Copies of this chain bind each other. A is one copy, B any other.
Amino acid sequence: MKHQITIKDIAVKLGLSTSTVSRALKDHPDISPKTRVAVKELASLLGYRPNRIALNLRNNSTRTIGLIIPEIEHYFFSAIINGIEEVAYKNDYSVMVFQSNESYKREVINTQAVLTNRVDGVLVSFSKETRDFSHFQRLIDNEIPVVFFDRVTEELQADQVVADDYQGAFIAVNHLIEKGCKRIAHFAAPQSLAIGRSRLSGYHDALLKHDIAYNPALVVLADTFDSSKKAAHDILRNADRPDGFFAVNDMSAIAIIKAAVELGLKVPQDVKVVGFENSKSSALIEPELTSVDQFGFELGREACLQLLRRLKEDEDISEFKPVKKVIKTKLVVRGST
């Protein structure tokens, strides 16, 4: 990088001290109008921009937010990043992105990276592998505000922003029942994730409400396209195949539709399918997918706003009360049900 114009350059050229220049630039009342004008003119002439790093050092703040996320290349997460960046931008913060790629080990390294980069706060959605949270505890111990979103844990004293997974699952399954489904399967996420548990629980309670017995055989661990396609093939070949599916995400739901079509079944006549996410893809497939919108953009916004709130607070850690923000979900009904 070229030599950047510093306050000293301006000071030397005008025969002033750096302190005077500094004060002139920020309209300090002590500085005479003449000096102030001269300094400002020269500053803009030279294209002076304050060195943020020097300020960072002095203020012990970087106006930077660290974002640790499983994978960017996934509609839901990219929508979240979009929301986060939007709020950060409006509040003059920058966002540093770190992917864990669903790897616990890499996630630990990511937490070290946000520490070295001295970000002011961190937004986290942890990996599927993560069971131990001490690397996040380390951030909290350093009094770096951490807000978890989507993938959260009760094991840490930290803010959470999540979609209302339980409610979303409940309305989805309720919808299937109202559409006449009697035998509803659930393709679930790992039960180590709260979203996995909440969605299963919503599924369970919606069945109960309609006096349908909960049948563990109809709950399958399958949250990717490939695993879901395979599982759907298997389960749909049974004589007593399900007439409805509630999938933990859209990819899984789409895989189910594809499997059903491949087996000569008609969607929604023979099998109805509901996804979770309301991704762009849900409107593209045929039939279009009924899905629970979990408002990723909103979720990102809220998570970032909550973090900014923490950053503004006088952090009296002894009085810390974690906040849990739940974003209501909404069923978007389309052709698959």
Chain A positions within 8 Å of B, measured between CB atoms, are 1-2, 4, 49-54, 56-57, 60-62, 64, 71-75, 78-79, 81-82, 85-86, 89, 94-99, 106, 112-113, 115-118, 120, 141-144, 254, 258, 261, 280-281, 284-286, 297
Given the known inter-chain contacts A82-B71, A254-B284, A286-B286, please indicate yes or no for A97 contacting B99, CB distance below 8 A.
no
Query: Which residue of chain B has the shortest Cβ distance to A116 in the bound complex?
Result: B52
Query: How far, in angstroms, from A89 to B141 measured CA to CA in the complex?
Result: 25
Number of copies: 2
Query: How far, in angstroms, from A286 to B254 measured CA to CA in the complex?
Result: 11
Given the known inter-chain contacts A52-B117, A73-B82, please indicate yes or no for A96 contacting B94, CB distance below 8 A.
yes
Query: How far, in angstroms, from A53 to B71 measured CA to CA in the complex?
Result: 28
Query: How far, in angstroms, from A141 to B4 measured CA to CA in the complex?
Result: 11
**Nearest 3 CB-CB pairings of A with B:** A2-B143, A78-B78, A286-B286
In the complex, chain B residues whose CB is within 8 Å of the CB of A72:
72, 78, 81-82, 85
- Are B71 and A62 closer than 8 Å at their CB atoms? no
Most B CB contacts (10 A, CB to CB) among A54, A57, A79, A95 go to: A57
In the complex, chain B residues whose CB is within 8 Å of the CB of A112:
49
How far in angstroms is the closest Cβ of chain B from A255?
9
Q: List 28 A-B contacts (CB under 8 A).
A: A1-B144, A2-B142, A4-B142, A49-B116, A50-B116, A51-B57, A51-B118, A52-B116, A53-B53, A53-B118, A56-B56, A64-B96, A72-B72, A72-B82, A72-B85, A73-B75, A73-B81, A74-B78, A85-B98, A85-B99, A94-B96, A94-B117, A96-B96, A97-B97, A280-B281, A281-B284, A284-B284, A284-B285
